[in-house]
């Protein structure tokens, strides 16, 4: 690797690690396993050691991850915690998955320390860090880790955790001291919480760690108390208590009524440490809460002081991480599920097996190619593990257990939901059901898209949609607007308050601007940005419905695929009738006067991709781009003019921008660009079509252009069996 390659890889690794750190600490939604994250961190450490000229102070190798919420997060959640500094920096531990590296760590300590010492080995709890300060025996403050220097004040929430005492007992505690530990959610509480959230149609937590972290940051302390959290404490910073060893300090803390784990052992050799690790690698499966490793600390506090700290971690401790838990279990059957976009996904039903404290019964097989690459046969015993202890996945087959003559699974040729023959377009990995108008799963998927936050923002989850669909109350989006309170309260699980809140959100959706209405109706490939561009170009739904392919292609960034999709959408008489029903319900079907007017034309003709965090929300930043004549795009391409990068931008976007030679600008540069803009008026508004163009007129006009005869429309909303263009998506959302 030459110097240029090393610099590029270091910058890439830093961006990846910071992004995943944010997802882990702030969003509580990790997308990378601990093992993958740690391996990338080790690679970065090695590169920075080899090329120190590229090591910077803001590197994740020198700073801990931060759970401090950004202004954007505070604005979106409506919460803001007071922040206080930690008396002593709250650092992270160095991680290893290798006993050999534990031995090397022990050897380094032995060579540095002249006196004899012992080791204190403890469980590594998989929760969220907390720092408690007691003054005169009373809890003064509870802080999250934050960025290691400053933490969020969650004292009122901590007081609702039963295991955290407000007042210490016994005697001998210092006038004031800090003690650190972990807030955990037991598996039983986790399962109960997710069951409650499922009933309320709220997103489920991926694992107990995420649930504990999210619960600790709730606005309502009473709700925190109901979450079933508990706390375990394991560290008093050196200098705050007068004890010779870490173990004795913890015993004293336990006598004061503090929750200290008794699952620790004093070890005198590497052999004893390995025995402790081996014991808990198996025994942890019987614990009521999540653990992900063993922490090995030098027990003598004087030795800890002598060894000190790096910028990020103590030199007197290391964490040995358990590898992802794996189990071997037979496949009972394979289901083929139809997704919201028509994609058919195979899912293995497994003989239940306990992994990381939860019973795993199902695991996705992704697609037909994955089944073939794993060489899965019916009834095979397969290895299942939880990537990052989050999502179960099948990693291999135990061939020694395969039955003689076991058959290879046959992928269905027709849709398991509606029976329509499946299609697989060239270059696609998945099979799709093309019956988008008649397939129940796809119909419900369109309803879910219609009510989503960036579309009509109606208070309606997946379970509610399924209930309304099964009762034939809502099979088309327009039918949401005909529901009555007296209908809803008669349904199972509905109460007057829930019905009122739902109907209020339906009424509020009538104020949604036309750009979002166009996005909400779910034209294939028409994402959020495209819907806005098309809406503002034509000005009304009638002008769009009347447009030819050539006219649609006049919209910037609308290519042949999107133009053809829009054109064909309005060829379908049922689609046109649904649009008219939505108009009759009161939805906005034209751009409101002044809605497309901007503040300047400073960014006229410029396509901008945003990535990272900014001083304002991402939605506000996108609105600024549009207000000054620019166009937002979700992905970097040769048509991109600028990549607007905030803090912790996406590494893939940075790499692609560099490869394409696209200019990367920061927020300060962007603000300077728009501050010099000139006022302009929006003129390109093709809103001269009749206000109520009858759908059949549009259909007949289109049919004549195509040289086609259009069949009479059925009164039924089902289009099963029609010749419908194949689709891999009902819409193409803008992703960041």
Kindly report which listed range (157-171, 236-250, 373-387, 487-501) carries the lowest average pLDDT score.
373-387
CB atoms within 10 A of CB 419: 14
Report the number of distinct structural domains present in the chain. Answer: 5
Report the phi/psi class of residue 457: left, alpha or beta, with left for phi > 0 and alpha for psi in -120 to 50: left
CA distance 106 to 271: 11
Angle in degrees, 0-180, between the axes of helices 695-706 and 573-585, rounded to the nearest 10: 150
CA nearest 606: which of 561, 670, 531?
670
pLDDT band at 69 (very low <50, low <70, confident <90, very high): low
Instruction: Say how far apart CA 176 and CA 194 lie, in whole Å.
Output: 38
In a domain, 507, yes or no: yes
SS3 549: helix
Complete edge-to-edge strand list for the sheet that includes strand 291-298? 95-96, 317-321, 291-298, 119-125, 264-267
pLDDT grade for 712, boundaries at 50, 70 and 90 = very low
What pLDDT score was predicted for residue 729? 32
What confidence score (pLDDT) does residue 736 get? 24
Tokens 């403050």 found at: 141
**Looking at residue 341, which CATH number applies to its domain?**
2.40.50.140
Asked if the structure places residue 8 within a domain, the reply is: yes
**CA-to-CA separations, 216 to 140, 187, 567, in angstroms, rounded:** 17, 16, 50
Listed residue (521, 631, 655, 653) closest to 583, CA to CA = 521
- pLDDT given for residue 532 in this prediction: 86
Model confidence band, residue 23 (pLDDT cutoffs 50, 70, 90)? low
| Same domain assignment for residues 505 and 367 | no
Q: How far is residue 500's CA from residue 504's CA, in Å, rounded to a whole number? A: 6
Task: Please indicate whether residue 23 is annotated as part of the active site.
Answer: no
403 DSSP 8-state letter: P
User: In this structure, are strands 631-633 and 607-611 parallel, antiparallel, or unpaired?
Assistant: parallel
How far apart are the C-alpha atoms of 627 and 600, rounded to whole Å? 7
Secondary structure class of 273 (helix, strand, coil): helix
Q: Give the global pTM.
A: 0.48
Tokens representing 480 are 């949401």
Is residue 312 domain-shared with residue 329, that is, in the same domain?
Answer: no
If pLDDT is split at 50, 70 and 90, which confidence band does 676 have? low
The answer on 332 and 202 residing in a single domain is no
CATH number of the domain bearing residue 35: 1.10.287.610
Q: Are strands 150-152 and 607-611 parallel, antiparallel or unpaired?
A: unpaired
- pLDDT tens readout for residues 326-346: 789 999 999 998 876 688 889
Sorted by sequence, the CB contacts under 8 Å of residue 89 that are 6+ apart come out as: 148, 149, 309
- Among 11, 28, 62, the domain boundary falls at 62
User: Are residue 574 and residue 657 in the same domain, yes or no?
Assistant: no
User: Which CATH number do you get for residue 272?
Assistant: 3.30.470.30
Residue 173 sits in the same domain as residue 297: yes
Closest CA to 555 of 571, 582, 535, 569: 535
CB 65 within 8 A of CB 151: no
Question: In the numeric block, which tokens belong to residue 3?
Answer: 């110097």
Is residue 602 over pLDDT 90?
Answer: no
The confidence score (pLDDT) of residue 195 equals 76
Does 640 fall in a domain? yes
Residue 287's closest CA among 163, 123, 129, 128? 123
Segment (H or E) for 282: helix 270-283
> Is 680 contained in some domain?
no
Instruction: Name the residue with higher pLDDT: 465 or 73.
Output: 465
Q: Residue 698 — very low, low, confident or very high, per pLDDT cuts 50/70/90?
A: very low
Among the listed residues 566, 491, 470, 486, the one whose alpha carbon sits nearest the alpha carbon of residue 526: 566
Nearest to 259 by CA among 358, 366, 166, 356: 166
Catalytic residue among 14, 124, 297, 653: 124
118 — pLDDT class (breaks 50, 70, 90): very high
* pLDDT > 90: percent of the chain: 39
Reduced 3-state DSSP string for 464-496? HHHHHHHCCCCCCHHHHHHCCHHHHCCCCCCCH
Co-location of 89 and 190 in the same domain: yes
Are both 124 and 264 inside the same structural domain? Answer: yes
Query: Looking at residue 198, what is its pLDDT?
Result: 62
Task: Provide the pairing of β-strand 95-96 with 317-321.
Answer: parallel
The model's confidence at residue 73, banded by pLDDT at 50, 70 and 90, is very low
Which residue's entry shows tokens 């531990």?
A: 93
3-state secondary structure 312-381: CCECCEEEEECCCCEEEEEEEEEEEEECCCCEEEEEEEEEEEEECCEEEEEEECCCHHHHHHHCCCCCCE
Inside any domain, residue 736: no
The CATH number of residue 475's host domain is 1.10.150.20
CA distance 29 to 15: 17
* The predicted structure's pLDDT at residue 9: 85
Parent domain of 35:
3-62
SS3 28: coil
DSSP state of 437: T
CA 165/CA 158 separation, integer angstroms: 9
Residue with tokens 């620790």: 264
Residue 69 lies in a domain: no
- The pLDDT tens digits of the residues spanning 484-510 come to 999 999 999 899 999 999 999 999 999
The CATH number linked to 621 is 3.40.50.10190
Spatial separation of the C-alpha atoms in residues 73 and 81, rounded to whole Å: 12
Query: Each residue of 613-672: pLDDT tens digit?
Result: 788 877 778 878 887 888 888 778 888 899 999 877 777 788 888 888 899 999 888 988
Residue for token digits 């042949």?
560
Residues 232 and 362 in one domain: no
What lies within 8 Å, CB to CB, of 2 at 6+ separation is none
Q: Specify burial of residue 243 (Cβ count, 10 A radius: 0-12, 13-18, 19+).
A: middle
Nearest CA to 538 among 549, 552, 525? 552
Shared-domain flag, residues 413 and 465: no
Residues contacting residue 434 through CB under 8 Å, at least 6 positions apart: 342, 420, 421, 422, 423, 724, 725, 726, 727
Question: Is 711 part of a structural domain of the chain?
Answer: no
Percentage of the chain beyond pLDDT 70 is 83
* 533, 569 Cβ separation under 8 angstroms: no
579, 696 in Cβ contact below 8 A? no
- Of 392, 391, 388, 296, whose CA–CA distance to 35 is shortest? 388
Tokens 């899912």 label which residue?
Answer: 347
Q: List, in order, residues 6 or more apart from 498 with CB less than 8 Å away.
A: 488
Distance (Å, rounded) from C-alpha 308 to C-alpha 318? 13
| Band of pLDDT at residue 54, cut at 50, 70 and 90 | confident
Burial class of 242 by CB neighbour count within 10 A (0 to 12, 13 to 18, 19+): exposed
Q: Does some domain include residue 687?
A: no
Could you tell me if 692 and 698 are in contact, meaning their C-beta atoms sit under 8 angstroms apart?
no
Q: Which one of 257, 289, 321 terminates a domain?
A: 321
pLDDT at 701 over 90: no
Give residue for tokens 């008093």: 236
| 503 and 487 housed in the same domain | yes
Band (710; pLDDT cuts 50, 70, 90): very low
Query: Of 433, 467, 483, at which residue does a domain stop?
Result: 433
pLDDT confidence bin for 24, thresholds 50/70/90: low
Model confidence at 78, pLDDT cuts 50, 70, 90, reads very low
DSSP string for 40-69? HHHHHHHHHHH-GGG--TTSTTTS----PP
Same structural domain for residues 396 and 310? no
Q: Are strands 431-432 and 391-397 parallel, antiparallel or unpaired?
A: unpaired
Residue 394 reports pLDDT greater than 50: yes
Average pLDDT of the residues in 712-731:
31
On whether both 96 and 171 belong to a single domain, the answer is yes
Q: Please compute the mean of the pLDDT values over residues 370-381 and round it to a whole number.
A: 90
């Amino acid at each position: 690797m030459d110097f240029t390659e090393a610099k590029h890889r270091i910058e890439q690794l830093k961006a990846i690690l910071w992004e995943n750190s944010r997802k882990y600490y702030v969003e509580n939604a990790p997308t990378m396993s601990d093992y993958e994250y740690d391996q990338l961190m080790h690679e970065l450490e090695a590169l920075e050691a080899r090329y120190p000229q590229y090591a910077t102070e803001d590197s994740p190798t020198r700073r801990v991850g931060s759970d401090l919420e950004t202004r954007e997060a505070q604005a979106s959640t409506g919460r803001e915690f007071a922040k206080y500094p930690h008396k002593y920096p709250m650092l992270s531990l160095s991680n290893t998955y290798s006993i050999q590296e534990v031995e090397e760590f022990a050897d380094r300590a032995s060579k540095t320390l002249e006196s004899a010492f012992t080791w204190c080995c403890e469980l590594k709890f998989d929760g969220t860090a907390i720092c408690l300060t007691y003054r005169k025996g009373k809890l003064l403050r509870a802080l999250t880790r934050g960025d290691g220097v400053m933490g969020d004040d969650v004292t009122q929430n901590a007081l609702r955790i039963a295991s955290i005492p407000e007042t210490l007992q016994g005697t001998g505690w210092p006038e004031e001291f800090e003690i650190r530990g972990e807030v955990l959610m037991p598996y039983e509480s986790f399962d109960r919480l997710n069951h409650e959230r499922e009933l309320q149609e709220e997103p489920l937590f991926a694992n107990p760690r995420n649930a504990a972290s999210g619960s600790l940051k709730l606005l309502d302390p009473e709700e925190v108390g109901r979450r079933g959290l508990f706390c375990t404490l394991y560290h008093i910073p050196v200098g705050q208590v007068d004890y010779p060893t870490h173990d004795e300090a913890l015993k004293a803390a336990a006598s004061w009524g503090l929750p200290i784990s008794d699952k620790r052992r004093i070890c005198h050799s590497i052999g004893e440490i390995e025995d402790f690790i081996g014991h808990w690698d198996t025994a942890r499966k019987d614990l009521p809460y999540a653990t992900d490793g063993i922490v090995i600390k030098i027990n003598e506090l004087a030795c800890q002081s002598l060894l000190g700290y790096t910028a990020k971690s103590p030199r007197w401790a290391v964490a040995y991480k358990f590898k992802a838990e794996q189990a071997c279990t037979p496949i009972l059957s394979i289901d083929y599920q139809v997704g919201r976009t028509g994609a058919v996904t195979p899912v293995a039903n497994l003989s239940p097996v306990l992994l990381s404290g939860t019973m795993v019964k199902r695991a996705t097989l992704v697609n037909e190619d994955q089944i073939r690459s794993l060489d899965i046969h019916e009834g095979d015993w397969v290895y299942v593990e939880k990537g990052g202890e989050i999502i179960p996945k099948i990693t291999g087959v135990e061939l020694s257990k395969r039955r003689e003559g076991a058959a290879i699974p046959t992928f269905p040729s027709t849709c398991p939901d509606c029976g329509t023959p499946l299609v697989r377009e060239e270059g696609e990995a998945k099979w799709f059901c093309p019956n988008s108008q008649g397939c129940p799963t796809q119909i419900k998927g369109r309803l879910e898209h219609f009510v989503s936050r960036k579309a009509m923002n109606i208070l309606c989850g997946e379970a509610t949609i399924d209930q309304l669909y099964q009762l034939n109350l809502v099979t088309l989006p327009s039918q949401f607007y005909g529901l009555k309170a007296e209908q809803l309260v008669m349904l199972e699980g509905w109460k007057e308050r829930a019905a009122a809140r739902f109907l209020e959100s339906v009424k509020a959706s009538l104020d949604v601007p036309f750009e979002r209405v166009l996005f909400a109706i779910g034209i294939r490939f028409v994402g959020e940005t495209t819907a806005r561009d098309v809406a503002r170009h034509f000005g009304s739904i009638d002008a769009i419905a009347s447009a030819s392919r050539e006219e649609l292609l006049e919209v910037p960034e609308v290519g042949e695929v999107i133009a053809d999709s829009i054109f064909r959408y309005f060829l379908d008489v049922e689609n046109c009738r649904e649009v008219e029903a939505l108009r009759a319900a009161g939805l906005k079907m034209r751009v409101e006067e002044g809605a497309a007017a901007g503040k300047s034309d400073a960014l006229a003709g410029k396509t901008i991709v945003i990535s990272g965090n900014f001083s304002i929300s991402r939605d506000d930043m996108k609105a600024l781009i549009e207000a000054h004549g620019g166009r937002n795009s979700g992905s970097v391409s040769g048509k991109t003019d600028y990549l607007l990068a905030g803090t912790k931008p996406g590494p893939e976007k940075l790499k692609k921008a560099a490869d394409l030679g696209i200019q990367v600008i920061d927020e300060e540069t962007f603000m300077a660009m728009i501050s010099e803009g000139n006022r302009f008026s929006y003129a390109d508004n093709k809103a001269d079509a009749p206000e109520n163009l009858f759908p059949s007129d549009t259909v007949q006009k289109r049919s004549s252009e195509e040289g086609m005869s259009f069949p009479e429309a059925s009164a039924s909303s089902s289009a099963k069996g029609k010749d419908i263009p194949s689709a891999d998506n009902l819409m193409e959302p803008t992703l960041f």
